[in-house]
Structure 1
Amino acid sequence: MSANREGMHNNLIDEPDNDYSIPEVQYSVFKNAGGKSGQRFYQEPFKVATACLTAFCLILLMILVVTSIHSGKGRSSDQDSLSSASETHMQTVCANVTALTEELLTVKKEKSELERERSQLKDKITRLEATPAPCTTPAPTKSPCPEDWKLFNGSCYYISVFGRSWSDSQKYCKKNGGNLAIIHTAEEQTFIWDLLPRGHWNAYWFGINDEKVEDDWYWVDGTKLVGGFWEDGEPNNHINEDCGYIIKTDVLSRVAVKSWYDAPCHMSLPWICEKTTEST
């Protein structure tokens, strides 16, 4: 190997470069470095470099290990922090879910109670609708007629229950502010006739007579009769019959507008009085 080097140097010397020359000192160094001692001297820097590189690698390895350990600790700390935060978040979520569940149960309970109350109200309404409303009788208005007198078209009518002659009946009516009934319309005739009870021959005096002139009938107020509601064949003056009366029998075919008869004025019959509400 030394020989090769020397040959290499010789070649360099033999073919010098005009622009480059090796100093004399460098040659002498390589020259003196021959043999085993020179070889050891030449190898020493490589050993030092290798040792340095090895030490450097060890130092780098230690640095990496330490960094890895610290990094692992950091990651572990981060993971612990993340795990702790996740656990806290999970606990919060669970608490919220529990609260919402309890609130939902409360709402369901309130809904159930409201539905029960609604059902009860519907049943109550159904019962009330099915129950007939109580009949409310309006307060009776005070009649302008005295007791036992009946009102019709501004006049009061009284039906007696005992009998007198025609003239005594008229006196009774005048004493009570009226006269024996004076009947001008079919409506009035029907109203009075409906007040009378049915019987075998129920007869009632009313305010007409022909005592002055036969077949010339006048009302008690002095007005002349026009028309009237005589039964067929009446008046007939059978036995000096000068006063008029109304009959109502059990025969249902009889009607109100054909119910007048004439009879002797001294007969004792019930009567019908009439007076206006003003006179009352």
Structure 2
Amino acid sequence: MTICLKVWRCPNMPDPLKRRHETFSSPVRGPGTSGSSPYRFATICLAVLCAVLLISIIAVTARYKNTPQAGGEATAEMQKESANVSAMNALITKLQEENKELQKEKGELQVKLTSMMTEKGTNVNKILVAPIVCPTNWHLFDNSCYLIAKQLRSWSGSQTYCQSQGAHLAIILTAEEQTFLWNLLPRGHWNSYWFGITDGETEDQWKWIDGTPLVGGFWEENEPNNHINEDCGYIVKTEVLERVATKSWYDAPCSMSLPFICEKEMSTIPHTKHT
């Protein structure tokens, strides 16, 4: 048995250092060999992970970059709404206070008014309208008094008498007024009464005593006819019951002597009465 003093010098024994050197210094296999596949796969995975990590970092950065701005806008909007609500509450409070003051003033004024009315008492003035009172033998209709005169006069003479009474020959404008006057007339064989209408100025242009033109009228059929220069109008009421008030006007010569109807307008004058 051979004893070697230096192990690395023994020719018959394998050198472990040499074997290690041979192991590490063995040539690297080419890309086509199966030994390089694990390293290549690990490299690809590492690259993918790096890419994912980079994308995640970018996304997170962008999110945190935008989040403060959106949050700021929301905060500003909330602050604005809060300010509006505060302003409305302040306005409501102010209006409520003003309403209380007005109610207080109203109560004070009512107390003063009641006190004034109580103090004056019977000295309060009241405006009254005096009722129309017609003279004796005159008849009231609306705001006029009418006289059925029994004297016999010509048409112009009748007007002169009415004027002496502060009146004029009657001006009849409505069916109600015509019927009222006709009902005042007595029935007879041919009871006729002058009233204030004439066409003496222009034939067939009938006018009232005040100069206003006639509109319509209550003529009997075929009247006026100007049979013998008939320029003045009169009302007829007979014993024939079939005759009606609204067909009772005739024309006649103004010189005929007939009774007549006067009209006096009465004004309603208000006066003050102390109670």
Structure with higher RCO (Cα < 8 A, 6+ apart): 2
Higher strand share: 2
| TM-score of the superposed pair, with normalisation by structure 2 | 0.49
Structure-1-length-normalised TM-score: 0.49
Larger-gyration structure (1/2): 1
Structure (1 or 2) with the greater helix fraction: 1
